[in-house]
Amino acid sequence: MPGFVEVEQVTKAFDTRRGPVVALAGVDLSIARGEIVSLIGPSGCGKSTLVRLVGGLLAPDHGSLRVDGQDPLVARAAKSFALAPQSPALLGWRSVRDNARLLVRVNRGAEQHPVLDDAAIDDLLREVGLGDFLDARPRQLSGGMRQRVSLVRAFALGAPVLLMDEPFAALDEITRAEMRYLLLRLWSHHRSTIVFVTHSIPEAVMLSDRVVVMAPRPGRIVAVETIGLDRPRHEAQEDSVAFLGHVATIRRALHEAMVP
């Protein structure tokens, strides 16, 4: 049975001044509906390229991608993806409330899935602790609060697929840990399929059903670790033998991936 997101033998190269650079070579990946899959690997291994290919923001040179049986461009036109980039990418002149509604408002009516209405989006903002900041401007928020707005904006769209490209990379460790549990809480209500790019092994293990380890030159998948931790996930699991075992396995795979 095909996965919800299917990547088959995908190759992507970029033209540079020094000639073509192969960002991804022969990548295969199948993601089930509602699954959280993290992509981890050193810089230049094609994690962000793979996310953009899935989201129809880039076209593959070879191979094929399907999202719920559709071409990614068709899925993108139906607003099937909610992107959470590394920077919160908030509109500085808009309130928190308006920023959270942005993806719902743009290209309105194109989606084939239910989206949250304004009241539900406000409730979601309150749920993530931004109830007192609904009319605030982004400059009035801390880095963690801005990322919370970005998360709510993504979930507000109700898109079947969330594409998250290192959304917590710029945060301090404590805020980052809070954000991963917040993400899990929001996901438990919505059960979207999530493709999550990160450089943090503990973050990948705690969030994911599977962690995909990638290697550079050319970008490829070298290992896939299935995470057997129970859901809902909680902080105490971070001290468990199973958690530490997954972390060690992925660390070894990353080291091996770095050996030419």
Partner 1 sequence: MSRSPDRAVGRSLGRVALVVAPLAGIVGFLSLWELAVVAFDIKAFALPRPSRIVSDMASNPGFFARNGWATAREAGIGLAVGALAGAVIAVPMAHLRVVDRAVAPVATLVQVTPIIGYAPAIVLWLGPGLGPIVVITALVCFVPFLFGAASGLRSVDPDTLELLRSVDARWWEVLWRLRVPHAVPYLFAAARTAIGLSLIGAALGEWFALVDEGLGWAIKQGINFNAAPQVWGATFTMGALGLAGLGLVGLAERVSGLGRPEPGR
Q: Which residues bind partner 1 (CB under 8 A)?
A: 55, 57, 76-77, 79, 81-83, 85-93, 99, 102-103, 106-107, 110, 137-139, 146, 157, 163
Query: Closest CB to partner 1 among 32 and 170?
Result: 170
- Give 259's contacts (C-beta < 8 A, 6+ positions apart): none
Please give the structure tokens belonging to residue 119: 């009241």
For the bound state, the minimum distance from the C-beta of residue 126 to partner 1, rounded and expressed in Å, comes to: 20
- Three-class secondary structure assignment of 174-220: HHHHHHHHHHHHHHHHHCCEEEEEECCHHHHHHHCCEEEEEECCCCE
What is the per-residue DSSP string for 55-66? Answer: TTSS--SEEEEE
Q: State which residue, 111 or 225, has the beta carbon closest to partner 1.
A: 111
CA angle 225, 230, 232 (to 5 degrees): 120
Q: What is the torsion angle, in degrees rounded to the nearest 10, for the CA atoms of residue 176, residue 181, residue 182 and residue 186?
A: 140
Nearest-approach distance from CB 153 to partner 1, in angstroms: 9
The smaller minimum CB distance to partner 1, of residues 195 and 247, is found at: 195
Identify residue 104 by its one-letter amino acid code.
V
Distance of closest approach, residue 65 Cβ to partner 1, in angstroms:
15
Give dist(CA 188, CA 226) in Å, integer.
Answer: 19
* Least distance (Å) between residue 163 CB and partner 1: 7
| The token pair that represents 178 in the structure block | 């809070």
Between 44 and 143, name the residue whose CB sits nearer to partner 1.
143
Compare residues 55 and 218 and give the one whose CB is closer to partner 1. Answer: 55
Residue 106 or 248: the one with the smaller Cβ distance to partner 1 is 106
Q: Shortest distance, CB of residue 81 to partner 1, whole angstroms?
A: 5
Shortest CB 257 distance to partner 1, Å: 27
Sort strands 62-67 and 5-16 into parallel, antiparallel or unpaired: antiparallel
